[in-house]
């Protein structure tokens, strides 16, 4: 086999590795920022989203609760995401954290918060 043939085969084999997975492309286009509620006192929340994530005051994030549904005994468990609330960022006080107010619905500690691209 010639060096040219070997190089062509190597290039063809490596090409799929260079392309991002299709599912990651979908996430990148719809979700701008994602984190979690790490503390909640009434309607006052601390989010694990901060300056490093691009968070700014007045951003409104959707809140989702993740729950596991009963499923087959073998294989991967099945999970559902249910939108339960919205929060508005009041202050970004750290590279990784922000204070927010629950403005709609009922949030809980460990719920997922997301800023969608509009």
Answer whether residue 13 is part of any domain.
no
CATH of the domain at 68: 2.40.10.410
Lowest-confidence range among 28-32, 43-47, 87-91, 112-116? 28-32
Is residue 10 one of the residues assigned to a domain? no
Which DSSP string do the residues of 49-104 spell out, in sequence order? --GGGT--TT-EEEEEEEEEEP--SSS--EEEEEEEEEEEEEEE-SSS-EEEEEEE
Domain that includes residue 96, residue range: 32-116
**pLDDT tens track for 39-74:** 999 999 999 999 999 999 999 999 999 998 877 767
Q: How many domains does the chain have?
A: 1
* Contact predicate 77/87, CB 8 Å: no
Q: Is residue 18 included in any domain, yes or no?
A: no
Residue 75: inside a domain, yes or no? yes
Q: What is the pLDDT of residue 84?
A: 98
pTM for this one?
0.69
The predicted pLDDT at position 64 comes to 97
């Amino acid at each position: 086999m010639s060096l040219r043939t070997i190089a062509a085969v190597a290039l063809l084999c490596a090409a799929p590795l260079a392309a991002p997975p299709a599912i990651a492309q979908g996430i990148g286009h719809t979700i701008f920022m994602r984190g979690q509620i790490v503390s909640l006192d009434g309607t006052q929340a601390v989010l694990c989203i901060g300056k490093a994530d691009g968070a700014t005051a007045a951003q409104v994030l959707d809140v989702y609760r993740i729950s596991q549904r009963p499923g087959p005994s073998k294989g991967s468990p099945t999970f559902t995401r249910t939108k339960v609330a919205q929060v508005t960022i009041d202050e970004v006080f750290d590279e990784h954290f922000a204070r927010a107010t629950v403005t709609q619905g009922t949030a809980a500690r460990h719920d997922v918060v997301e800023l969608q691209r509009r």
